[in-house]
């Protein structure tokens, strides 16, 4: 019996999978797509992605700055008109809305009053300047005589022949550089012509910004796609409000600087105290740089007129006023008005002066303030709860937007549990 079973098992042939003709089975290898594999680490790929995007942004900004530098005669008057419009637009709006004066007439009254105030201030400062220079010229001649006496009788022991040799060398240098001097004179003549042209262009742009500023803004907004118009309209409105706040605060800061340094020079007996105050007022519109230049001029006038002791006291007054401005006025007034850190202001002025000189230093801070307001408005999606934008574009806020802007409701009683099939479609959509 057992032998028959064993014989039967021997006759059965068992075929194992993967074995053919007694050869060993080969392992199964899946196909690998080497073309789609990333050999670089993730950090390297991420850094490369940021790097080429950053280079494109820097190149685009460089091209923009280069293009604007080629049309500076057009750009600078427009920016000046924008700053003046931010200063004068509240006056025009007050005459138009509160006193019911037609807008065109309100613009004319405001511009005439502003120009009359500027011309009167400059003429008064010019008269004081011409009268003060007469006395200052006498003191300057006396100082030159003292310098000459020191040169002749001092340790140098110079003679008339030595001074004549210096004058001859100076005349030779002037004759050798006659071409350069002539070219500089021609460039100054062209600069005066460009300045007058830019002044007329700025006045022309200012009139239309005060008259049709809202229409110009809507024209620019309507160039965008329809879905982007509410957000950009609200952002530009917020940026314009930031510019108006900057100009108002800068006027206040400049006035305080002018009063402090002007009265300090007056009580110290420094000549040209009133023109100096006017220069300080105008120079304060260029942050950091203007204060340094006008303060140095005040100290120089005190040194020439009253000696080094009076100049040291004037230097202390200038430093006190500037420290009060930078540590008290700027953080308390300017920081709250435009939400800019003092370090951002200093870096903006330095970068603007390196890129575009004095115009760059003048417009860097207001442009940064406008950009800061626009970016904050867009990143915070503030147009979704801006009543002005919602009313102007006829947008009805959703329930989620209303819930964000309204106060949190009182806790309600718990609802009975229901199955997913019994829930209403609106509840399901809110949960999703």
Task: Identify which has the larger pLDDT, 179 or 406.
Answer: 179
Residues 6+ positions from 132 with CB-CB distance below 8 Å = 271, 272, 275
Residues 6+ positions from 230 with CB-CB distance below 8 Å = 383, 389, 392, 393, 395
What is the pLDDT averaged over residues 172-195?
A: 70
pLDDT at 179 over 80: no
Burial class (CB in 10 A: 0-12, 13-18, 19+), 193: exposed
Burial class (CB in 10 A: 0-12, 13-18, 19+), 151: middle
DSSP string, 13-66: PP--TT-BTTBPPPPP-----SSS---S-HHHHHHHHHHHHHHHHHHHHHHHHH
Q: What is the pLDDT of residues 28-50, one digit of tens each?
A: 545 544 444 456 788 888 888 89
pLDDT at 21 over 80: no
pLDDT band at 61 (very low <50, low <70, confident <90, very high): confident
pLDDT band at 298 (very low <50, low <70, confident <90, very high): confident
What is the model's pTM? 0.66
Question: The dihedral of CA 101, 105, 110, 112: what is its sign?
Answer: negative
pLDDT of residue 141: 64
**Residues facing 23 on adjacent strands:** 20
pLDDT of residue 419: 43
pLDDT at 85 over 50: yes
**d(Cα 118, Cα 115) in Å, to the nearest integer?**
5
Contact 320, 299 (CB under 8 A): no
Among the residue ranges 12-26, 78-92, 307-321, the one predicted with the least confidence is 12-26
pLDDT of residue 420: 40
Task: Identify which has the larger pLDDT, 129 or 233.
Answer: 233
Task: Identify which has the larger pLDDT, 240 or 153.
Answer: 240
**Residues 357, 363, 364: CA angle, nearest 5 degrees:** 85
**d(Cα 35, Cα 205) in Å, to the nearest integer?**
59
Q: How does 197-218 read in b/e, with b if 16+ C-beta sit within 10 Å?
A: ebeebbeebbbebbbebeeebe
pLDDT of residue 348: 82
């Amino acid at each position: 019996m057992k032998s028959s079973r064993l014989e039967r098992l021997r006759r059965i042939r068992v075929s194992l999978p993967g074995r053919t003709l007694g050869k060993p089975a080969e392992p199964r290898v899946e196909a690998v797509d080497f073309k789609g594999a990333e050999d670089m680490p993730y950090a390297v790929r991420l850094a490369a992605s940021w790097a080429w995007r950053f280079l494109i942004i820097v190149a685009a900004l460089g091209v923009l700055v280069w293009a604007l530098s080629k049309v500076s005669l057009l750009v600078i008057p427009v920016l000046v008109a924008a700053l003046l419009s931010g200063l004068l637009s509240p006056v025009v709006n007050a005459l138009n809305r509160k006193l019911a004066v037609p807008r065109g007439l309100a613009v004319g009254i405001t511009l005439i009053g502003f120009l009359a105030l500027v011309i009167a201030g400059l003429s008064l400062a010019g008269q004081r300047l011409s009268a003060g220079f007469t006395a200052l010229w006498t003191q300057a001649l006396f100082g030159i005589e003292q310098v000459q006496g020191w040169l002749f009788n001092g340790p140098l022991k110079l003679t008339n022949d030595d001074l004549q040799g210096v004058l001859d060398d100076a005349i030779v240098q002037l004759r050798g550089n006659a071409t350069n001097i002539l070219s500089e004179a021609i460039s100054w003549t062209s600069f005066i012509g460009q300045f007058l042209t830019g002044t007329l262009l700025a006045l022309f742009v200012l009139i239309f910004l005060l008259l049709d500023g809202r229409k110009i803004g809507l024209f620019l907004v309507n160039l965008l796609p329809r879905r982007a118009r509410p957000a950009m309209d609200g952002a530009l409105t917020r940026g314009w409000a930031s510019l108006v706040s900057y100009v108002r605060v800068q006027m206040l800061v400049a006035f305080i600087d002018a009063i402090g340094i002007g009265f300090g020079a007056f009580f110290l007996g420094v000549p040209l105290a009133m023109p100096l105050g006017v220069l300080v007022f105008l120079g304060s519109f260029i942050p950091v740089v203007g204060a340094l230049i006008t303060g140095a001029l005040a100290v120089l006038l005190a040194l020439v007129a009253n000696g080094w002791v009076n100049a040291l006291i004037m230097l202390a007054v200038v430093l006190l006023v500037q420290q009060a401005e930078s540590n008290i006025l700027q953080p308390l007034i300017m920081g709250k008005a435009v939400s800019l850190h003092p370090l951002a202001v200093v870096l903006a002025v330095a970068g603007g002066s390196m890129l575009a000189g004095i115009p760059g230093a003048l417009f860097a801070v207001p442009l940064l303030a406008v950009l800061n307001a626009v970016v904050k408005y867009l990143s915070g999606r503030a147009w979704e709860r801006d009543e002005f934008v919602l009313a102007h574009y006829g947008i009805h806020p959703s329930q989620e937007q209303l819930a964000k802007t309204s106060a949190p409701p009182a806790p309600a009683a718990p609802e009975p549990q229901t199955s997913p099939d019994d829930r209403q479609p609106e509840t399901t959509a809110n949960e999703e």
